Copies of this chain bind each other. A is one copy, B any other.
């Protein structure tokens, strides 16, 4: 990716078709495009911070972002991994609260910004977008219910299997490329415990390790461990 970032027009944006803006007509896309601004983010750069006030939403054009909260003892809990096409940062916007989570890039990213005013006016005038957002929020709520249940009822080993399946979806054909610490913070365990379990999975032949990168060899085995 070029460090000298060029604005991408929304009409040219390859990931728009997978986003909440997929159903926009040409006119709406143009309006959107006029009102957004794009930025290049380097790896590990903050997108927004827990406690600050939302000024708009972020649309990921390229790259992956982790969304996390900071626990009382300063340990991160990763709540969500966002990839190309996803919009982040709108939840707290609707509730009028400061951000309850932080977002940080996991790799180099292009991320567009749409101001609160523009976004809310789009919602008011566009029932498809509105319904898309309601649907999205509802699905996320369901996902988080599931995560809560997992956290409280499943062993770390089971959760690792489950998370690897999730990550497969996010990284597609690429190898999974997260720091051990991030992976541990996603699963909700200590880094050392995670490392031991990764080793187990490798020895059992479910995954391959190349440095920090993880390649899933037997998705089906992982699914068996992860449960439903």
- Residue positions of A touching B, CB distance < 8 A: 69, 71-73, 75, 77, 79, 90-97, 100-101, 124, 127, 130-131, 133-142, 144-154, 187-189, 227-228
Asked whether A139 and B77 contact (CB < 8 A) given A72-B153, A147-B148, A148-B147, the answer is: no
Pairwise interchain contact B142-A92, C-beta atoms closer than 8 A: yes
Knowing A144-B144, A146-B69, the reply to whether A95 touches B151 (Cβ < 8 A) is no
Stoichiometry, as copies per complex, reads: 2
List the B side residues contacting A139 at CB < 8 Å. Answer: 95, 97
Q: Which residues of B contact A77 (CB under 8 A)?
A: 145, 148-149, 152-153
A153–chain B nearest beta-carbon distance, Å: 4
- Determine the main DSSP class of A at the interface with B: helix
On whether the beta carbons of A153 and B71 are closer than 8 Å, the reply is yes
Asked if A71 and B137 make an inter-chain contact with CB atoms under 8 angstroms apart, the answer reads no
Residue in chain B with minimal CB distance to A226: B72
Chain B residues lying within 8 Å of A228, measured Cβ to Cβ, are 72
B residues less than 8 Å from A134 (CB atoms): 94-95, 133-134, 137
A138-B69 contact given A77-B149, A145-B144, CB 8 Å threshold: no
